[in-house]
Structure 1
Amino acid sequence: MDHIIEKNGELEKVISDLKDFYSTENGKRQRIKEEITKNKNELGKIKEELDLLEKVNVLLQKTSEYAREQAKKQIESLVTNCLQYVLDTNVEFKIEIEELYGKPNAEFYVISKYENQEVKTKPHQSRGGGIVDIISLALRIAFLQIHKPLIQGPIILDEPAKHVSEEYIFNVAEFLKQVSEMFNRQIIMVTHNTHLASVATNSYRVELKGLTSKVEKLST
């Protein structure tokens, strides 16, 4: 009889231990379920944030593309006007932008029209160095004018048209004068060309005599 009572006691202890183990494991299970639910909620929030970031990225990309296209048109227009003013011919400046290694890459072209045909060439292949000087000059002015915020101050030029032939140098001078008036910018220019110097409000000749620079104001 004592043996049976002893066995019952052991069985009750085992049952009690199993109940404690079940209670402990069930508590762990509940905590794990709570963690899973919490992680699912956080994952859902992360997915919502990623979706929002993707939409913002697309919006910024589209905005960037639009701004880039607007700037491209402004630059093309100003440089084209400069070319046509100086060369007195129906020539256009074009910018072609393509993705290269994940970054936008711009190529410059000059479009010349002959009767019903168009010829597209790189600036340095079109009419020699003079046209490169004209485009370079117009690009500097265009970049200054479209920059946001606007860059204030004078335009400083060093021999801006040294490869432009005498045939067109008067037009370059008039173009610079128009730019100064149109954009209300002072132009400070260093040049050996008397035609360019002649359109200036104030002109000075600097001569080196020995080790001394002599400055002489010219009449305009």
Structure 2
Amino acid sequence: MDINLLNEEILKLQRKIDIDKGKREVISKNLDEVNSKLKSLTEYEDILSKVIILFQKTSSYGRIQAKKQIEDLVSRCLQFIFETDIEFVIEITESRNIPQAEFYVISNYDGYSVKTKPEISRGGGVVDIISIALRLAFIQIHKPIIEGPILLDEPGKHVSDDYIFNLGEFLKQSSNMFKRQIIMVTHNNHLSQICDLSYTVEIKNGKSKVIKNDAN
């Protein structure tokens, strides 16, 4: 009887361990997602800060022109990728003679509009797209001209599969339009396939192996 009771206790402990392992895996996955979103928001905050500094360093006329150019490029990007009537709007105010900027997304529906901060509009995907578009706009309008390629780390990682094809096409068209090489690191198969040249990096036995993919 003592052995049977001991076996029962062992089974109970094993079940509890299995349940706790499952909980740990869920928590670990949620933590990874939170860290990923936090990284995206941090990068987004960084590019917003640069845009605000750009506004602060330009004249009133230059500020208006830069605002229009940025709004237009980001709005076109959002509309192209999400295939809907959506606008990116910058509201500039002054505090102690220092320009301050607030960024909004306006979604237009039949007969009404919804104005929100990008961080709470359509999840993390909108922030990802705005971050990419702002980088392109910032580089293109910056004086003096910033030379060199555009580097992207996991672009659109929070963009759903429904729109990832549009993002890939947008990046390809942007590269051709602005005559800039885009170098990116991605785990997304579609984004890797649109490239003119791509490599796969595999880790085997602790060593990285770089494989050149076939031309697309």
Q: How does the TM-score come out when normalised to structure 2?
A: 0.72
1:168 paired with 2:168, answer no
1:132 paired with 2:127, answer yes
- Contact (CA 8 Å) 2:85, 2:109: kept in 1 or not? no
Unaligned regions of 5+ residues in structure 1, if any? 1-60
1:79 corresponds to: 74
1:158 paired with 2:153, answer yes
Aligned residues with identical type, % of pairs: 64
Structure showing greater radius of gyration is: 1
**What are the superposed Cα offsets for residues 172-207 of structure 1, whole Å, 9 maximum, x if unpaired?**
000000000000000000000001111000010001
Q: Which amino acid aligns with 1:177?
A: K
1:61-72 aligned at under 5 Å gives the runs 64-72=59-67
1:193 corresponds to: 188
Unaligned regions of 5+ residues in structure 2, if any? 1-55
**What are the superposed Cα offsets for residues 76-129 of structure 1, whole Å, 9 maximum, x if unpaired?**
000000000000111000000111343211111001011111111000111000
The alignment's C-alpha RMSD in Å is 1.3
- Of 182, 201, 205, which aligns to 1:206? 201
Q: Which amino acid aligns with 1:103?
A: I
CA shift, 1:210, in A, is: 2.3
1:145 corresponds to: 140
Distance 2:68 2:201 in 1: 40
Distance 2:114 2:200 in 1: 42
Distance 1:209 1:90 in 2: 47
- Range with greater deviation from structure 2 (167-176 or 102-111): 102-111
Distance 1:100 1:133 in 2: 29
**What SS class does the counterpart of residue 86 from structure 1 fall into?**
helix
**What are the superposed Cα offsets for residues 61-80 of structure 1, whole Å, 9 maximum, x if unpaired?**
9x811100000000000000
1:110 paired with 2:96, answer no
Q: Which amino acid aligns with 2:172?
A: K
Q: Which amino acid aligns with 1:192?
A: H
Distance 1:210 1:179 in 2: 39
**What SS class does the counterpart of residue 149 from structure 1 fall into?**
coil
Q: Which amino acid aligns with 2:186?
A: T
Q: How does the TM-score come out when normalised to structure 1?
A: 0.70
- Range with greater deviation from structure 2 (123-132 or 95-104): 95-104
Q: Which amino acid aligns with 1:153?
A: G
Q: Which amino acid aligns with 1:148?
A: K
Distance 1:217 1:194 in 2: 14
Structure with more relative contact order (C-alpha pairs < 8 Å, separation 6 or more): 2
